[in-house]
Structure 1
C-alpha cells in the first residue's frame, strides 16, 4: 500500500471525505436559485466554496475530491466544480492545512502527459504531500475531437501517461534535463472505472480504486474482485447524501446514495465498511439543508464514530 494512504485512512482503516462542489444546487431551493440566476442545470453556485472548503478542513474530513470536466455538456448536465482541476487544487492547497486533495478523476487522454506530471507534482509540493491522483480514460465522446484526441485510442494513451507518472520521466528526458518540481515518491494513482484496461492490469499498476456509488451489497461483490487483483490496495467510493434534520429518519435510497438522518447514515457507513470500503466521499448537492449546517452535524456526530481522535 502506498504510504500516503495511512494518512487518509488512519488506524481504523476507514475515513470520510467530501466531493466538491460543496453546493446543494440539486435541491429544491438550489433549483430555484439556479433558475433565478439563469444558470444551466449542473452548474453550481460557488460563492461560498472557499469558506466551505475551510470548514471541511477544520471539521476533520479527510479529503476533498474534485472532478475533471473540461467542457460542460448539457447532455450530461453536470459541470462538477467548474474550475480546472489542477488550478483549483493549487488554490485549495493554499487555503487548507490538513485535508487531503483528491481527483475523481483526471481524464488522462485529454491532457499532455508531461504537463500532467508537472501539474500533479506542483500541487503535491504546494500542498505538502496531500494529493491523491485519481485518473480515468474519460467517458464523454464530445470532448475528444475538441482536444484533437482519438477516442478509440484512449486506452493506450491512458497506459502511456500512467507509466510516465509512475516513472517521473526518468530515462526519458534529454541528458541533464529535469522536470521540476521532482517528487521522491510518486503521487499515488487511483483509477475510476477500469481506464479501458483489464482488471488484472489495474490491480497491478494502480495504487487504489475509485469505485462508482452503490449499495453495500454491490460494493461487497466489487471489493472481492478488487482484492483478487490488487491485494490490500485501498477501495474508495462516493455517496450522494441528503441528510435529514431528524436523526432517526430511516435510509431511503436514491440514485447513487440516499436520504436519511444521521443514525441511518452511520448504519450505512458501517455497512460499507463491513463490505470492505475504506473511504467514502460524501456528495451533498442533493442536500435540502444548508451545506454548512450538514458539514457541522457530520463533524460533531458522525466523524467521531469512524475517525481517530484529532
Structure 2
C-alpha cells in the first residue's frame, strides 16, 4: 500500500490480506422511486454493526425508465455525506461516479469535501457511463466519453496533489492563480476505474489505484486477474457479486444476473475461492423482502465464515 493510498476507507478495504465485503444502496431494494431515507440509514448502521467493510452508492444523474434502475435516487455526494453522519468507520464508496457527465473540478471539490467530512473514508469508483440518453441531455458526445474520462482523471490527480496548479483540457484551464480546497485527507482520494472505462488495460493499471469490475465466471475471472496483475502489479481488484441466499444451506448454485442464487455453504466455498484467486473486495447484496434479515443472514452464514 503506497503512501498516497492510506485514507481510512482504503485501509478498511485493502489494508490487510483478507477478502473484504461491501454492500450497496439502496439497502431497502427500492430502485425505481425514492427510498425511505430513515430506513436506509438504519440499515446502513446495521450493516456496519454486522461487519460489512463498505457501503457503496451509485451515480445515476437522470432516471431512464427503460433502464429500470435509479440507484439510490439521491445525488451520491449528498447521500454519502448523510451516510457518513450515521456511521462511524465503514468505508464509503461510489460505484461509480460518471466522470464524463460531470465537470472534473466539481468532482474534485465534492470528493475532497466528502473525504474530510467522513474522516477519510471515501473510495471513489469512477466510470464512463452506460446510459446514452444522459449524454444527449447534457449536450455531450457519448462517443467521446473515453477521452473525457482520461482528462478528468488527470485533472483530479493534479488539483488534489498540487497547489495553484497549471493544467488544461476540454474542461477548461487553470493558470496557477486558482487552487482547489480542501485537498484530500491523504495524497489522493483513491480511484477505482470501473469496468474497462473505454481504456486499455495498461492505462487502467497505470492510472487506477485499483480496479472495480463486474461478476465473471471463474475461468474468465482468472484470465482477467492475470492481465490485471501484469498491468498493475499488486494493486487491488474488487468485483460485484449478486448473492441471493437460498433457504437450504446446501443448495447448489443457480446463475443470476451478476451472480448466483445458492446456499450459504456454496457461497462460503465460492468466496474462499475468490480470495485464493486474488480478489481483494466483493460488493454483495442481500435479496429478499426483509432487507434487515437478509443482511444479517448473509453476514452470519457467509461473511463471518470467510
Q: For residue 142 of structure 1, give the secondary structure of its aligned residue in structure 2.
A: helix
More divergent stretch after superposition (211-220 vs 200-209): 211-220
Q: For residue 247 of structure 1, give the secondary structure of its aligned residue in structure 2.
A: coil
Is residue 78 of structure 1 aligned with residue 69 of structure 2? yes
| 1:279 CA displacement | 0.6
Q: What is aligned with 2:181? A: 180
Does the 8 Å contact 1:109/1:154 carry over to 2?
yes
The within-5 A match list for 1:50-65 is: 50-65=41-56
Cα distance in 2 for residues equivalent to 1:271 and 1:42: 34
Q: What is aligned with 1:100? A: 91
The within-5 A match list for 1:1-310 is: 1=1, 2-4=5-7, 5-24=10-29, 42-43=32-33, 45-46=35-36, 48-168=39-159, 170=162, 171-172=165-166, 173=174, 175=176, 177-183=178-184, 184-284=186-286, 287-306=287-306
| 1:299 CA displacement | 2.6
Cα distance in 1 for residues equivalent to 2:32 and 2:142: 25
| 1:165 CA displacement | 1.2
**Does 1 or 2 have the higher relative contact order (CA < 8 Å, sep 6+)?**
1
| 1:246 CA displacement | 2.7
Does the 8 Å contact 2:288/2:294 carry over to 1?
no
Does the 8 Å contact 1:203/1:229 carry over to 2?
yes
What per-residue deviation string (whole Å, max 9, x for no partner) do you get for residues 231-272 of structure 1?
111110011121123322222221211112221211111122
| 1:81 CA displacement | 1.1
TM-score (ref. length: structure 2): 0.88
Does the 8 Å contact 1:86/1:120 carry over to 2?
yes
- Number of matched pairs: 289
- Structure 2 runs not aligned, ≥5 long: 167-173
What per-residue deviation string (whole Å, max 9, x for no partner) do you get for residues 98-128 of structure 1?
1101111111010011111000001100111
Does the 8 Å contact 1:219/1:276 carry over to 2?
no
Cα distance in 1 for residues equivalent to 2:297 and 2:251: 15
Cα distance in 2 for residues equivalent to 1:67 and 1:114: 20
Cα distance in 2 for residues equivalent to 1:46 and 1:210: 28
1:117–1:10 CA distance, 2 compared to 1 (3 A) = closer
Q: For residue 221 of structure 1, give the secondary structure of its aligned residue in structure 2.
A: helix
Does the 8 Å contact 2:35/2:72 carry over to 1?
no
Does the 8 Å contact 2:23/2:55 carry over to 1?
yes
CA RMSD of aligned residues (A): 1.9
Q: For residue 168 of structure 1, give the secondary structure of its aligned residue in structure 2.
A: helix
